Every structure is written in C-alpha cells, then in structure tokens.
Chain A
Amino acid sequence: MLFNSIDFLIFFIFVTTLYFALPHRFRWFLLLVASCVFYMFFKPEYILILGFTIVIDYYAGIKIESAKSPGARKRFLVLSLIANIGVLAVFKYYNFINDNITGLCNLFGYDNHIPYLKIILPIGLSFHTFQAMSYTIEVYRGNQKAERHFGIYSLYVMFYPQLVAGPIERPQNMLHQFWEKYTWDYDRVMGGLRLMAWGLFKKVVIADRLSIVVDAMYNGTYGYNTIWVIIGTFFFAYQIYCDFSGYSDIALGSAKVMGFTLMKNFNYPFQAKTITDYWRRWHISLSTWFSDYLYTPIVINKRDWGKWAVVFGLVITFFISGLWHGAGWPFIIWGVLHGIAMSYEFLTKKWRKKTMSKLPVWLNNTLSQLLVFIFLQFVWIFFRADSFRTAFKVIKGIFNYENFFAQVPAFTAALKYSLVVGFVVLAHFLVFEKLWRNEKFQAMLNQSVYGKYAVYAYMFLVFIFFGSFKNAQSFIYFQF
C-alpha cells in the first residue's frame, strides 16, 4: 500500500481508531494483522518470504541466548544471517550474478546456460532483512534479550509504518515499545499528523513534480546539454531527498500518532560540509547499520594496517552499500565513489583543516557545502541513470554547450509547465523547511491561531494547485 494513496488514508483512519479503542493487550494483534494487510497489497504471496525469515530469526534469537558454548551461539547467528542474506541473494541478486557470469563466459567464448529467474523483487526486502539481522546480531552481542513472544517479534519486523522503506530500526529501540501502553495524547497525535502532512507535501508537491522534469532529461528525448543536465541533476537531488525523507516523515508521523518513536532518518543532509558529514545526515538508519555491523568489525580486524584499514573499510562498506541499493554496477560505482570521497577526506583532514582555516568561516562553509552538493549531484547520475550508457551520455552532455533555450519550445506543454512549477515549488520547499526550524516563526504560530491556520491554508492551496495527482507515484526507495 502506498502512503500517498486513498487506500492508505482509509487504512490509517481505520487502524488508528481501532488502536485507541482496543485494550492494550489486543493492540499487538491489531497492528500485526494491519501490517500483514499493508504488505499484502503489493503481492500477497510474498508474505511467505517474511514468514520464513521471521520464524528462523525468532528461533535463532532464542537459541543464541540459551546456547551454552560460544560455538553454538555462533552457529545460530550464522544460520540467521544465511537465511536473510540467502533470501536477498535469490530474490534480488540472482539475475545480477547470472548477468555477470554470462559476461565472463562471453569473454572467454563460452555460452552461459544457467536460466534466469522471472521474479519481481519483493517490496522493502532489503529493509526488513536488514532490520531482522540487526536483531540476531544484537542478541548475539548481548545487547538485546531474545524476544519470547512470537507475535511481538513478528511485529518488530513487520510494523507497517517502517516495513517497506525504513527507518531500519534496532531491537533496543523498538521491541520494548510494543510492550508499552500508549494513551491518547492530543499534542502528540497532532504532532504526528503534522509530520505526516509535511511528508505528503514533500512527496506529492515536490518529488513527483520534479520527477517529470528529471525523467524527461534522463530519457534523452531532447538530447543532453549543459543547462538541461544541470537542471535535471539539480532537480533529482531534491526529488530523491523529498521522496525518501517524505516517506520517512510519514513513517515517523504515523508511528508517533500511536505513541511509537522511530529513529530519525534525515538531518538536513544538504547542509553537510563534508561527505563524511553527509552520511551522518542522510538515511541515518542505514549508515549506522553499516557502521555498526560491517565497517567497524572490518576496521577493528584490520587495524594493524593503520590508516589504510579505514580506507579499506570505507571502500568495502560503500561497495556493499551500493549493492544494497540496487543489483547493478552503476549503483556499485555510486557507492564506491562515496567511499573514495570519504577516504580522501579522512586522509587529508589535517591538511584541509590548516588550509581552510585561512579563509573566512562563512566562505569556508559556503564553499564546502557547495562542493559537497555538486559531488552528490554528480555521483547520483550513476544512481539515477538506468545504465552506464545513459550515465556517460549525461556526463558528456555537461560539456555540450548547445543553447538550451532554443530547445524549450519543442518540449511538451506538460513538461514546460512542470519545469516552471518545479522551480516554484522548490522555492516553497526551501522556505518552509527553513521556517519550520525557526524558533521565532514557531513561537508566532503557537501564539496566533489565525496565523497558524493561514499558514496551513496556504500550504493546502499550494498542495492542491501544484501537487502532482495524475496517478500515485511509487517511492524511489521501494525498489531497494
């Protein structure tokens, strides 16, 4: 079920009302059934995959905790990891691996006879398998008690707000919340609803509008030239940010309405002054996952290599992170470029600190932010383009100085409209995002009821006039 659909609106009202009406002891069951319904809107039979990993991880957790010998503990952890990574490998990476085998075979003049699988990727697979692995790893490390209640454990994996696109939660933050009794709290409920509305605004008004222009640029229908590529990549940065952080806002908001606190997934990433800083602000639940369970163990293990252990850890981690995002080499390149950028920042930190301190602070900050933003846009070309061919065409387009404005008349009316409106809504977004953080503005909203509703009414009008409603667009991160 998409958050930006009428189905979800009905679902949300129905489930939330029942949630508050039911006594606490029945709520876990309601949420579990609701989460199953939510998931089965996509492809009902895939719920069996979830069932499979849930059963294995549930038993693995208990076995890890009760096992006497370290060897047995490790065996059950490995069993859980194999089950989760195995499911990922079959459903997400099988065809990709087969592609590479075919490529290798062709190189040596052989034919590859391994058949391809005809399957659609289960939605949110990479998210809930990672969340499930976090559980067994934390039980193994002794930071989390094994959950004995099968229903509650299932809910930990399936909780509908964060099931299909995160935040990827940790058991320490999540499991105990299902046992707690949350009562109706007007301010909290309103806060949650506001967050949901803001998320929906980001998705429908900004992301889906910008996507029309971004798609047109990447499709190459109008060729590639400097200004056109700059607009397309610039819009894509805000499209993906609003798409994904909008999703997270709706997730956090709908959980908050019921009393649950999910972890923050975004912290104004485009204000980052380094790529390292960016990864502390973008998809935080994934970057901390990789940091805790992959990067840190690698670096601890290889620490005799000194600084190169960090570089090695970064490149491997971002290689895997690229692969996590999509089964394809362009995603891997996207990841590795991030790993290289962070390694560069790490190795040159002292030197950069000395050099940059000669500049005035404001100039240093502005330049750093700009440089990070340009880097992000550039590497996202690999992320967004459907192949290396397209990616290189787009990159070549940066140096094609043809007159962009001579082409605009050839654009379809819908594209021209979205191009202009895209800048209008983006300006609105940037202003509103600043205003929400401004304390004076918040105080003003709290003092004046009229002022508050005037702002809401204005946003609602922007939503109605400029939102993209043609057909509910899926979220970008659903494919991962």
Chain B
Amino acid sequence: MEQSQILQQLNDIFKDVLDNDDIVLTDITTANDIEEWDSLYHIQLVVAIEKHFKIKFTASEIQSWKNVGDMANAVKSKLAA
C-alpha cells in the first residue's frame, strides 16, 4: 500500500476515534497539533490502527513514534513484512 493511502486511512481512523471531523493529518502532525489526541486516546488510536490493518505492533515500536509519519511508516513496514 502507498504511503499516501495509509495516511488517508489513518486520517479516517483519527476522525472516528477522536470524534472530530476537522482533523487533517500530515506526516509531521504530532499530538500537540490535535487537542483530543492525548495519552488517554493515543492507545485507542493504536488499537484501532492495529484492527484496521490487521497488524500488531511491539511496545517499543509504539513508544518510538514521534509523529504521524512514523506511524504511517510503521504500518507500511508491517504490511510489507
């Protein structure tokens, strides 16, 4: 799957989980840019992403993400594996 497709699907997941239709993700979006995205909802996002793409991350992978680009890359490499 292309990076841009992954980003688009991530965007839909974010809108749904965080209950905010105005979210527009880019590679450099971080939790600071989206009010609803806090440590409580972060894990809900991770679970939704794992379900959607049918993949499973490791704890250290999840903790290494610095922005949405890192998340998309992690999804991409999981799907390729």
Do residues A297 and B59 form an inter-chain contact, with CB atoms below 8 A? yes
Query: Could you list some 19 contacts between A and B, CB below 8 A?
Result: A141-B63, A276-B38, A276-B40, A295-B39, A296-B39, A296-B42, A296-B43, A299-B43, A300-B46, A300-B59, A300-B63, A301-B59, A303-B43, A303-B47, A304-B47, A306-B44, A310-B40, A310-B44, A349-B19
Within 8 A of A (CB), among B27-81: 38-40, 42-44, 46-47, 59-60, 62-63
A291 at the interface (CB under 8 A from B): yes
Chain B interface: which size bin? Answer: 10 to 19
Q: Which residue of B lies closest to A306 (CB)?
A: B47
A346 at the interface (CB under 8 A from B): yes
A interface SS class: helix
Kindly state the separation between the CA atoms of A141 and B47 in the bound complex, as whole angstroms: 22
Would A303 and B39 be within 8 Å (CB), given that A141-B63, A297-B59, A350-B19 are in contact? no
**Interface residues as binary, A122-152 with B (CB distance below 8 Å gives 1, 0 otherwise):** 0000000000000000000100000000000
Do residues A300 and B19 form an inter-chain contact, with CB atoms below 8 A? no
Do residues B40 and A300 form an inter-chain contact, with CB atoms below 8 A? no
Kindly state the separation between the CA atoms of A273 and B39 in the bound complex, as whole angstroms: 17
User: Which of A280, A300, A349 meets B62, CB within 8 Å?
Assistant: A300
Contacts A276-B38, A346-B40, A349-B19 known; list 15 others, CB within 8 Å: A141-B63, A295-B39, A296-B42, A296-B63, A297-B59, A299-B43, A300-B46, A300-B63, A303-B43, A303-B47, A304-B47, A309-B43, A310-B40, A310-B43, A342-B40
Which residues on B are within 8 Å of A, measured CB to CB?
19, 38-40, 42-44, 46-47, 59-60, 62-63
Chain A interface: which size bin? Answer: 20 to 34
Kindly state the separation between the CA atoms of A362 and B60 in the bound complex, as whole angstroms: 42
Shortest C-beta distance, B60 to chain A (Å), equals 7
User: Which of B39, B44, B62, B63 meets A307, CB within 8 Å?
Assistant: B44
B interface SS class: helix
Q: Which residue of B lies closest to A300 (CB)?
A: B59
A353 at the interface (CB under 8 A from B): yes
Would A353 and B40 be within 8 Å (CB), given that A300-B59, A301-B59 are in contact? no
Q: Which residue of B lies closest to A349 (CB)?
A: B19
Shortest C-beta distance, B59 to chain A (Å), equals 5
**Interface residues as binary, A177-189 with B (CB distance below 8 Å gives 1, 0 otherwise):** 0000000000000
Residues of A within 8 A of B42 (CB): 296
Kindly state the separation between the CA atoms of A310 and B17 in the bound complex, as whole angstroms: 14
Kindly state the separation between the CA atoms of A280 and B37 in the bound complex, as whole angstroms: 13
Shortest C-beta distance, A368 to chain B (Å), equals 15
Shortest C-beta distance, B13 to chain A (Å), equals 15
Do residues B19 and A141 form an inter-chain contact, with CB atoms below 8 A? no
The 9 A-B pairs of least Cβ separation, nearest first, read A299-B43, A300-B59, A303-B47, A346-B40, A291-B39, A303-B43, A300-B62, A310-B40, A350-B19
**Interface residues as binary, A440-475 with B (CB distance below 8 Å gives 1, 0 otherwise):** 000000000000000000000000000000000000
Shortest C-beta distance, A290 to chain B (Å), equals 10
